Amino acid sequence: MSAEAEAIVAETAGTRVTSRDVARAAGVSQATVSLVLGDKWRGRVSERTAEAVRGAARELGYRPNLAARSLRLGRTRTALLVVPALTTEFFARVYTGATRVAADHGFGVVLYPSPAGIRPASDPFDSARASLDGVIASSMAAEALAAVRGGGLPLVMLDSDPADAAAAATVNLDIAGGMRLIAEHLLSLGHRRVTHIAADIDSWTFRVRARALAEAFGTVPGTEVRTEPAALGVEDGRRAAERALSGPGPRPTALVCDDDILAAGACKAARRLGLRVPGDVSVTGFDDLALASALEPELTTVRLPAEEVGERGMTALLAVLEGRAAGGGELPVELVARGSTAPPPAMAGKDRAG
């Protein structure tokens, strides 16, 4: 915290921090603070000044009078974030990113984990629709949001089909690119026979993963990709992996899992069958949850910038609410190669180029 901000905090202890205090800490006028925190600064003040104001507001713990502002603007400045579940930290990170941007613009974010997962969900604000300005929905099948869509609220979709006509904007990760990175990594190690431990969920993000994996391996002669569906859970992943590793025919040399939780189950299956990871079978995940580095060996996976997804989603919703064009494009992802992948057993210790 800056010395100026510390002095103001001490001076205003026990009282509400005002926009005048923020202006003083940032070295700007109160009018400039109003422009920046009201998100009306573009073309009127510099990006550097706007960031100084936002930083001062954060340091001072400034909270705008939302009730008064709502009366002036005719909005409640509240967004609803709908996620399939809160069983992994991915969606918690998305929420963190969304609330960070929302706070800078005097918005609040209400989190709604759909109790039905990706199945049709009841509208959580059916009797209080007027208390929302818009909806951000992450990784949901289209039918899960039927009630919300029908309410006429602006809708921003995350990690969803960009062709969805009901969405005012879509913020996506390069999911296909992430799966291609996994495929290229395994192919470069010499793997030609893999099984996809595929999330048994009919949603855009998982269809994209399956298609990208099949296409990447399909470009290399002599490769085979089998599929074992599984619900999203460690034990579901374990059972699917056991079927893949102990079924008829040649055993796969690698298991490509749709997320890190399924990959944890796959590692568990290998151990129960007396197989070594990666000595006998390689395992990959997707997401790069904390779990990925807690496994032994640590998991090769694709890192997704979850907080940035939330930030971009909230930024897109603000743009829609203000009648501006929402930014498009895909967020890049990153392959994190760790100890759970290695050349297949037949190639261990050999020159793979030979």
Q: Do 175-304+336-347 and 75-173+306-330 have the same topology in CATH?
A: yes
Q: How far apart are CA 280 and CA 297, in angstroms?
A: 13
Provide Rg for the chain, Cα atoms: 24
Strands 224-230 and 193-199: what pairing?
parallel
DSSP code, position 62 = -
Cβ 242 vs Cβ 214: under 8 Å: no
State residue 96's pLDDT score. 93
Domain ranges for the chain: 3-63, 75-173+306-330, 175-304+336-347
Cβ 336 vs Cβ 288: under 8 Å: yes
Architecture of domain 75-173+306-330: 3-Layer(aba) Sandwich (3.40)
Tens digit of pLDDT for each residue in 188-232?
Answer: 999 999 999 999 988 889 999 999 999 999 999 999 999 999 998
Structure tokens that stand for 317 in this block? 């919703």
State residue 302's pLDDT score. 98
B/e letters for 187-210, b = 16+ CB within 10 Å, e = fewer, are: bebbbbbbbbbbbebebbbbebbb
Q: Edge to edge, what strands does the sheet with 282-284 contain?
A: 224-230, 193-199, 254-257, 282-284
Cβ 160 vs Cβ 139: under 8 Å: yes
Q: What is the CATH number of domain 175-304+336-347?
A: 3.40.50.2300
CA distances from residue 337 to 182, 211, 301, 342 in whole angstroms, order as listed: 9, 22, 7, 10
Q: How far apart are CA 6 and CA 140, in angstroms?
A: 44
Strands 330-331 and 169-173: what pairing?
parallel
Residue 132 three-state SS: coil
Architecture of domain 3-63: Orthogonal Bundle (1.10)
Structure tokens that stand for 175 in this block? 């999911």
State residue 312's pLDDT score. 94
Tens digit of pLDDT for each residue in 157-190?
Answer: 898 888 876 788 899 999 999 999 999 999 999 9
Instruction: List, run by run, the mean pLDDT of 10-residue segments along the chain (354 residues).
Output: 54 64 87 79 84 86 57 65 78 92 88 61 50 79 55 82 81 96 97 96 91 96 96 95 93 97 97 96 96 96 95 92 80 97 72 33
Structure tokens that stand for 191 in this block? 């793997």
Cβ 173 vs Cβ 307: under 8 Å: no
DSSP code, position 188 = H
